[in-house]
Amino acid sequence: MSFIVLGLSHKTAPLSIREKLVFDDVLMTDALRGLKSSPGISESMILSTCNRTELYCYEEEGVITDLMNWLSSTKNIERDEIKNHIYKYTGERAVRHILRVASGLDSMVLGEPQILGQLKEAYKKATSANTVGKFLNRLMQFSFSSAKLIRSETEIGSSPVSVAYTAAKLAEQIHGDLSSKCAILIGSGDTATLVANHLKSSGLQKLIVANRTLQNARKLAAGYNGDAIAISTLPKFLTEADIVITCTGSTEPILTKSMVALALNDRNKEPMFIVDLAVPRDVDPETSTLDSIYLYTIDDLQSVVLSNLNVRKDAAAIAEEMIYLQVQDYMHWSKSQSASNAIKDYRNYGQDVKNKILDDAIDNLNSGADPKAVIERLANTLTNKLLHHPTVALKAANDNSETLKLAREILGLDQEDKQS
């Protein structure tokens, strides 16, 4: 079995490409099962976030699966459009990559904890779709425990520098004092909750939470003394917003250029700061052409993030060393499984040979054959059957001293010489 990672991230692809390769919850189960049904794929998992889409697969030995072709055809995007943004890792390098992802070392915001939760959710979905087997299950559990160890023994998680924190910090840098400002938060998931927390910690006066499900909006708003509205009523309230931060799972833009233009007119062109944390984007990119609009996407946050990472960079070096050791541990387990499978297969072969010869011996005894002759025949036949394949292999390796030496060790011949 060979472990493969194929994907793209904020490091290799712009937002305009990444948003075309997002797998939403509605399509995820079918996508997972479709991936697993690809020739040679025995286990599969898909991680799809705002910053990366990655396929995790175990491939049968001797089989080469065109995962890029599967990705491009499944998402209906030309192969040539994505090929320069795709990376592919196999074996030990692939294991190292997934441990770095789980630990936040490969994130836009170094050390951010959200990615571990997203990885766990992706694993949960794959498990529900029955596309996870022994190897992916073991690798995921190993990744989760390694990420926990790294986070507890280094300062990789010190200082709040999540994407949510960065968005709130940027709002504070642009507006200064937030005590007289109003923010509309579109969405009610984990990222939205983090944004709300950081905005309120920065002294925001008024928070409005908009969501398709009003009940969810009310639940989030209640924790921060905010107001809740349905997304359908958003144009009515947009005029009040000095800050808009959106982070939904919508496949279509929620804020259109015309909607924002109308709000600007009612605000007498007073500036509006908008951060779009969603992938695919919640805000029509053309909105940025409007005067007095400051639109930032998730990729634009990178420069703000860089100033908060000095402590984490030192911790990252320690974490990389820990990951190296963790990878070696996992690879040792993985290789031991190959030996276990060989042992299991050889034992099954021996049992099959024994059962067939034993059945023949019992039939001969029941037919009145001489018991001594039956036993001698059983012993000779069993010996010849079990020695046939090793004998053929030894003859084939006649000129290879290393192979012959290894064969003697495997067969225990040297030990027998020493004992005698």
Per-residue pLDDT tens over the stretch 320-369 = 888 888 888 888 877 776 666 667 777 887 888 888 888 888 888 888 88
Residue 255: its H or E element: none
- The pLDDT, as a whole number, for residue 420 is 47
Above 80 in pLDDT, residue 401? no
Query: Considering just the CA atoms, what is the radius of gyration of the chain in Å?
Result: 30
Domains of the chain: 2-159 (3.30.460.30), 163-306 (3.40.50.720)
Provide mean pLDDT across the span 241-254: 93
pLDDT at 278: 92
Residue of 111, 109, 97 lying closest to 5 (CA atoms): 97
As given in the structure block, the two tokens for residue 221 are 């708003």
Residues in the chain: 420
Give the model confidence (pLDDT) of 160-209 as tens digits.
Answer: 567 888 888 888 888 888 999 999 999 999 889 999 999 998 899 899 99
Confidence band of 140 (pLDDT split at 50, 70, 90): very high
User: Hey, is 304 helix, strand or coil?
Assistant: helix
Please confirm, yes or no, whether 57 is among the known catalytic residues: no
Helices 163-175 and 190-201 pack at an angle, to 10 degrees, of: 40
What's the pTM value of the predicted model, to 2 decimals? 0.70
Range in 153-162, 292-301, 345-354 the model is least confident about: 153-162
If one compares 311 and 251, the residue with the highest pLDDT of the two is 251
* Residue in the structure block whose two tokens are 């605000």: 267
**Ramachandran area for residue 223 (φ above 0: left; ψ -120 to 50: alpha; else beta):** alpha
Contact 131, 33 (CB under 8 A): yes
What tokens does 139 get? 């690798």
Is pLDDT of 44 > 50?
Answer: yes
